[in-house]
């Protein structure tokens, strides 16, 4: 697929409506790359003009900040802000709640002020503006449970945008024991993704996977590449990968639309 | 001689209030050992938050059983304290039921309400005790609750049982004296609860009834004044501090972690091609310490959080690390912060200024294993019914570990050097960021 970079578009004298912040997981992680591509197909179908930064994008610095390295975080942030301000970026969409939170909440203090939305929010507004439609055929009546990513839900109060999309698929949305403001973390946040867990009697992703399995879903919908990894590992650990799929909401919509 | 009780009462009252004020000033001094942080913005939203969360108990009912029981005790506490005003004035002036003649029917209504509330509080407190000691609800039996915290929690319940019982006993004996037309005991009040316990005392003579009524009256007010002074030594300070604590709570989105401005200055200098790398710092001062290793590195709001914590454990129940058996308990983070702050405060009281005692919050109280178990998921912050933020303390302490001691777990060091060198937490070449668009 051809995905334009901001550099390309700028050299052609064009300015996209929105910058798609792909994120490190979305760029490099095999599983997350599928989410990235699904979302790009949705963007292309809607006809919205967008671009990515490509090699000019760097880690937002989220895991460095949460690990305690404020210096490294700010170095990353300043570099990204310099790049984006040079292109006069105003609106950003991202498929990663960690990037979303950092760009939206922590970049303004360092001079990066943008209108930042999560991909589930953008898809909702594209639907509202009738630039996109969702067919309910593919997932009609399927049991789907939704896992709230901490940095989308509790951290930024985005609970309904992803749920609205699942409902638009005509799927049966079932809630886990812990959901919305009381959602249970997948275990990856706060830089835990990059280290072994401390000793305990269970891994957090197993606990969360058990809550998901208890709803007897056909699909566990995620909205974060890290949650996706943690829950996929959990499902494998429980040997349920034959019956339960872990899918990002962007993937569900791309599949529903045969993209 | 006739004024002896009045004088004794005044001495008891003012002595208690003075001693309590002294301890409150200690708390204020200790809280102000924390660093400055501006929480005076958006005052409208702050008042609203305080009214909703502290005054309106909005977060308590997310756990319906303990929530509703707590609301009963809270309303009881606030409303019955109106009666306290009359008791204090009666004590000082030597009067009895001073407000009755002025309020008439309203007085009857008030006394009846106090009685019903007192009975409800008694029931609620007994259920609280059973939840702790018979049902042994898990969050009250976590390791950090061993010893004093457990005893403290029970003491508070015993205090409330005794105070409510004395209030009803005092009214029951008063009612009997009123009914017998004993002078001084004016006919006033309606006693829906204590009238049921009057048979206990019905056979007593008037003299004995007066002795009992006075005893209950004095024990009740003395108990309240002792309880007031117990607050400082217990976890129960939340009845006062919940209000400022919710007012000064963080109103930003929970995912926004604070920006360290000292670091911003340094990063700007580093990125400025015209800056002289060998120049002294702008103001010639030694750069500020990064993060927190002791209580004095925390902000005054974080320290107030520690005094406000009533150790209910809702944070730890929701904490994913705690749920899966890790050492981390957000409640323990708050309890440790308070214990260390008290220790620092006592050190200052003794020595005038703080003398190094070879201890600090990090390692002497909070271990690194606890700090690294946090997923920064904000469940603890969301769960706290009084707006405490344990996560901010964990993050400040991580910042100290990494920036002052380079003491991150090795996996995290790898992640950070990848970000530094490649712009991603994994060892990929940043030039390959768009390769995903090429494969199918």
Residues pairing with A51 in the sheet: A19
Q: Which helix (H) or strand (E) holds A92?
A: strand A91-94
Residues of chain A positioned with their CB less than 8 A from the CB of B373: 197-198, 200
Contact by Cβ (8 Å): B415, A191: yes
Cross-chain Cβ contact B415/A28 below 8 Å: no
Q: How many CA atoms, within 13 angstroms, populate the side-chain half-sphere of residue B245?
A: 26
Closest residue in chain A to residue B427, using alpha carbons only? A28
- State the pLDDT at residue B266: 87
Hey, what domains does chain A have and what are their CATH numbers? 6-127 (3.40.50), 133-256 (3.40.50)
User: Which residues 354-393 of B are in CB contact (within 8 Å) with A?
Assistant: 369, 372-379, 381-382
Using DSSP's 3-state secondary structure scheme, residue A120 falls into: helix
Q: Are strands A172-174 and A219-222 parallel, antiparallel or unpaired?
A: unpaired
Q: Which of B374, B369, B389, B422 is nearest to B298 (CA)?
A: B389
How far, rounded to the nearest angstrom, does the alpha carbon of residue A171 sit from its chain's CA centroid?
20
The average pLDDT across A2-12 equals 96
A118-146: pLDDT as tens digits: 999 999 999 999 999 998 889 999 999 99
Q: Where does the pLDDT of residue A180 fall: very low under 50, low under 70, confident under 90, or very high at 90 and above?
A: very high
Task: Count Cβ–Cβ pairs < 8 Å, chain A vs chain B.
Answer: 217
**Mean pLDDT, rounded, of chain B:** 94
- State the pLDDT at residue A189: 95
Q: Which of A189, A182, A229, A181 is nearest to A209 (CA)?
A: A229
Cross-chain Cβ contact A150/B378 below 8 Å: yes
Using DSSP's 3-state secondary structure scheme, residue A109 falls into: helix
- State the pLDDT at residue B125: 97
CB-CB: which of A63, A190, A202 is closest to B374? A190
Contacts of A183 (CB under 8 A, 6+ apart): A147, A148, A150, A153, A154, A176, B379
CB-CB: which of B254, B260, B369 is closest to A198? B369
Cross-chain Cβ contact A67/B266 below 8 Å: no
Q: Measured at the alpha carbon of residue B203, what is the angle toward residues B202 and B204, in degrees to the nearest 5?
A: 95
pTM of the model: 0.95
CA dihedral of residues B102, B106, B109, B112 (deg, nearest 10): -20
**Mean pLDDT, rounded, of chain A:** 97
- State the pLDDT at residue B129: 98
A208-220: pLDDT as tens digits: 999 999 999 999 9
- Count CB-CB contacts under 10 A for residue B37: 14
Q: Which of A223, A76, A74 is nearest to B430 (CA)?
A: A76
Interatomic CA distance for residues A44 and B373, integer angstroms: 41
User: Which residues 246-285 of B are in CB contact (within 8 Å) with A?
Assistant: 252-257, 259-260, 263-264, 266-268, 270-271
Sites in chain B below the pLDDT cut of 70: 1, 277-287, 440
Helix axes B105-133, B148-179, angle to 10 degrees: 150
With 0-12 / 13-18 / 19 or more C-beta atoms within 10 angstroms meaning exposed / middle / buried, residue A95 is buried
User: Phi, psi (5° rounding) for residue A52?
Assistant: -115, 170
Question: Percent of chain B, pLDDT > 70?
Answer: 97
ipTM computed for the complex:
0.96
- State the pLDDT at residue B275: 74
Interatomic CA distance for residues B287 and A209, integer angstroms: 46
- Which of these ranges, A131-135, A192-196, A201-205, has the smallest mean pLDDT? A131-135
- State the pLDDT at residue B271: 81
CB-CB: which of B255, B382, B416 is closest to A156? B255
Q: Which of A173, A167, A180 is nearest to A127 (CA)?
A: A167
Q: Does A117 touch chain B (CB under 8 A)?
A: no
CB-CB: which of B254, B267, B411 is closest to A75? B267
């Amino acid at each position: 697929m051809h995905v334009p970079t901001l550099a390309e578009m700028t050299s052609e004298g064009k300015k996209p409506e929105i910058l798609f912040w792909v994120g490190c997981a979305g760029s490099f992680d095999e599983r997350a790359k599928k989410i990235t591509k699904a979302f790009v197909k949705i963007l292309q179908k809607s006809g919205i003009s967008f671009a990515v930064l490509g090699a000019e994008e760097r880690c937002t610095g989220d895991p460095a900040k949460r690990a305690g390295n404020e210096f490294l975080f700010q170095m990353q942030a300043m570099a990204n802000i310099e790049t984006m301000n040079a292109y006069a970026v105003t609106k950003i969409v991202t498929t990663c709640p960690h990037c979303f939170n950092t760009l939206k909440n922590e970049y303004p203090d360092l001079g990066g002020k943008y209108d930042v939305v999560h991909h589930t929010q953008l898809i909702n507004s594209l639907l509202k503006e009738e630039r996109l439609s969702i067919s309910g055929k593919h997932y009609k009546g399927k049991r789907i449970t939704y896992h709230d990513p901490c940095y989308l839900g509790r951290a930024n109060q985005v609970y309904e945008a992803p749920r609205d999309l699942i409902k638009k698929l005509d799927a049966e949305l079932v809630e886990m024991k812990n959901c919305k403001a009381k959602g249970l973390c997948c275990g990856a946040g706060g830089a835990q993704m990059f280290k072994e867990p401390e000793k305990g009697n269970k891994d957090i992703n197993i606990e969360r996977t058990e809550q998901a399995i208890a709803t007897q879903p056909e699909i566990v919908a995620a909205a974060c590449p890290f949650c996706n990894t943690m829950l996929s590992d959990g499902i494998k650990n429980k040997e349920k990968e034959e019956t339960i799929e872990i899918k990002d909401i962007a993937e569900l919509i791309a599949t529903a639309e045969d993209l | 001689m006739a004024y002896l009780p009045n004088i004794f009462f005044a001495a008891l009252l003012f002595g208690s209030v003075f001693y309590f004020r002294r301890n409150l000033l200690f708390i204020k001094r200790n809280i102000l050992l924390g660093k400055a942080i501006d929480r005076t913005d958006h005052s409208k939203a702050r008042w609203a938050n305080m009214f909703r969360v502290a005054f309106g108990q909005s977060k308590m009912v997310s756990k319906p059983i303990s929530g509703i029981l707590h609301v009963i005790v809270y309303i009881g506490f606030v409303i019955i304290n109106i009666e306290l005003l009359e008791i204090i004035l009666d004590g000082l002036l030597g009067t009895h039921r001073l407000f009755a003649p002025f309020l008439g029917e309203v007085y009857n209504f008030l006394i009846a309400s106090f009685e019903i509330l007192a009975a409800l509080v008694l029931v609620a407190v007994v259920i609280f005790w059973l939840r702790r000691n018979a049902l042994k609800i898990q969050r009250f039996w976590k390791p950090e609750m061993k010893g004093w915290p457990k005893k403290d929690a029970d003491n508070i319940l015993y205090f409330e049982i005794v105070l409510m019982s004395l209030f009803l006993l005092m009214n029951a004996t008063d009612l009997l004296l009123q009914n017998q037309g004993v002078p001084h005991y004016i006919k006033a009040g309606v006693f829906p609860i204590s009238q049921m316990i009057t048979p206990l005392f019905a056979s007593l003579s008037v003299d004995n009834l007066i002795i009992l009524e006075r005893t209950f009256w004095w024990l009740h007010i003395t108990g309240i004044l002792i309880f007031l002074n117990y607050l400082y030594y217990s976890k129960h300070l939340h009845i006062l501090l919940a209000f400022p604590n919710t007012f000064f709570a963080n109103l930003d989105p929970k995912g926004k972690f604070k920006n360290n401005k000292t670091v911003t200055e340094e990063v700007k200098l580093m990125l400025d091609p015209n800056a002289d790398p060998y120049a002294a710092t702008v103001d010639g001062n030694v750069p500020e310490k990064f993060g927190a290793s002791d209580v004095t590195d925390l902000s005054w709001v974080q320290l107030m959080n520690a005094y406000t914590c009533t150790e209910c454990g809702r944070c730890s129940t929701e904490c994913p690390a705690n749920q899966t058996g890790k050492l981390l308990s957000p409640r323990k983070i708050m309890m440790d912060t308070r214990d260390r702050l008290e220790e620092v405060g006592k050190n200052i009281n003794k020595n005038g200024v703080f003398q190094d005692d070879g201890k600090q919050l990090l390692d002497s109280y909070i271990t690194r294993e606890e700090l690294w178990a946090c997923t920064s998921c904000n469940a603890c912050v969301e769960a706290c019914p009084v707006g405490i933020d344990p996560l901010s303390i964990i993050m400040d302490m991580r910042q100290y570990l990494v920036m002052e001691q380079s003491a991150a777990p090795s996996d995290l060091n790898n992640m950070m050097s990848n970000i530094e060198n490649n712009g991603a937490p994994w060892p990929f070449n940043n030039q390959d960021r768009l390769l995903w668009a090429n494969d199918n």
